[in-house]
């Protein structure tokens, strides 16, 4: 039996993976992230996908690009949260958003069920 081909991760998923590695301490301040080309080949995605993921992490303030050298986990200034802490906060926030989205979808479904149970409502005319 042939194995199913694994779905390739998108930039958002790659950023989440790297963010998780920063939160876990796999990458610390000053550590260089895997080179874009090699990482893209390893994941089976385009270089642009990895670059977009790294851009997302840069916009979040977790990493910084050094021209001609690579992408590094930021070393924060005093008073700023460390990359590991910031990545963990972002991961926690994303989990909370996912939980709230699921809860909201459940509420929408319950409202729809109530609307069906109550039936159509008619507006009263003001005469």
C-beta neighbour count of 82 within 10 angstroms: 15
pLDDT averaged over every residue in the chain: 86
Q: Nearest 5 degrees, angle CA 47-CA 52-CA 58?
A: 125
Per-residue confidence (pLDDT) for residue 116, from 0 to 100: 87
pLDDT digits (tens, 9 = 90+) for 65-75: 999 899 999 98
Task: Please report which confidence band the pLDDT of residue 6 belongs to, taking 50, 70 and 90 as the band edges.
Answer: confident
Pair of tokens at residue 23: 């939160």
What is each CA distance from 73 to 49, 68, 82, 105, in whole angstroms? 19, 16, 10, 36
């Amino acid at each position: 039996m042939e194995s199913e081909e694994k779905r390739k991760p998108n930039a958002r998923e790659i950023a989440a993976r790297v963010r998780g590695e920063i939160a876990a301490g796999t990458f610390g301040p000053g550590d260089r992230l895997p080179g874009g080309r090699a990482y893209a080949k390893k994941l089976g995605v385009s270089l642009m996908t990895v670059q977009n993921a790294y851009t997302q992490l840069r916009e979040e303030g977790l990493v910084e690009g050094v021209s001609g050298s690579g992408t590094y986990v930021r070393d924060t200034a005093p008073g700023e949260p460390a990359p590991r802490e910031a990545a963990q906060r972002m991961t926690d926030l994303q989990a909370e958003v996912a939980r709230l989205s699921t809860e909201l979808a459940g509420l929408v479904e319950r409202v729809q069920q109530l609307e069906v149970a109550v039936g159509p409502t008619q507006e009263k005319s003001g005469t």
